[in-house]
Amino acid sequence: MSILIGALAALALVGAALAWTRRSDPGRTVGTWHDAPAAVPSPVAKQQPVAAPRGYTRVGDLVRMDLRIGYAAPATLRYPGATYVKPHVSRMVLGPGDYLVVASPDGSESYRYDANGATWAMSISGDTAVIRLHRGGRSSRPAVTVDAVARGFSATEQSRVPQSQLTAPGSTGREESVCGSDDSSEAVCYRSAKPVLYARSRAVARLLINGTQLCTAWRIGSHNRMLTNNHCFTSSRDAYRTEVWFNYECATCAGGEPLRPVKVWGDRVLATNRVYDYTLFTVVDFARVRRFGYLTFDSARPVKGQELYIPQHPAGAPMRISGGLKERAGTCAVADPEYDGYARNSDIGYYCDTEGGSSGSPVLSRATNRVVALHHFGGCPNSGVRADLIAAKLRGLL
Spatial separation of the C-alpha atoms in residues 285 and 264, rounded to whole Å: 7
Q: Please report the pLDDT score of residue 186 as a whole number.
A: 83
Distances, alpha carbon 275 to alpha carbons 162, 189, 376, in Å: 26, 35, 11
DSSP 3-state assignment of 344?
coil
Confidence of residue 108 (pLDDT cuts 50, 70, 90): very high
Neighbours of 131 (CB within 10 A): 25
Among 137-146, 279-288, 383-392, the minimum mean pLDDT is found in 137-146
- What mean pLDDT do residues 353-365 have? 90
Confidence of residue 8 (pLDDT cuts 50, 70, 90): very low
Q: Please report the pLDDT score of residue 166 as a whole number.
A: 57
Spatial separation of the C-alpha atoms in residues 142 and 164, rounded to whole Å: 44
Confidence of residue 112 (pLDDT cuts 50, 70, 90): very high
Name the more confident of 54 and 305. 305
Would strands 242-246 and 320-322 be described as parallel, antiparallel, or unpaired? Answer: unpaired
Four-CA torsion 339, 341, 347, 350, nearest 10 degrees: -60
Among 47-51, 70-74, 137-141, the minimum mean pLDDT is found in 47-51
Q: Please report the pLDDT score of residue 80 as a whole number.
A: 95
| Global pTM value | 0.83
Spatial separation of the C-alpha atoms in residues 371 and 381, rounded to whole Å: 18
Q: Please report the pLDDT score of residue 28 as a whole number.
A: 32
- What mean pLDDT do residues 60-86 have? 92
Would strands 3-4 and 56-57 be described as parallel, antiparallel, or unpaired? Answer: parallel
Model confidence pLDDT, tens digit, residues 170-198 = 554 333 467 766 677 888 888 888 899 99
Q: Are 245 and 205 in contact (CB under 8 A)?
A: yes
Would strands 124-125 and 84-93 be described as parallel, antiparallel, or unpaired? Answer: antiparallel
Give the rounded percent of residues in the chain with a pLDDT score beyond 70: 80
Q: Which residues contact 116 (CB under 8 A, 6 or more apart)?
A: 92, 93, 94
pLDDT at 110 over 60: yes
pLDDT at 29 over 90: no
- What mean pLDDT do residues 278-307 have? 96
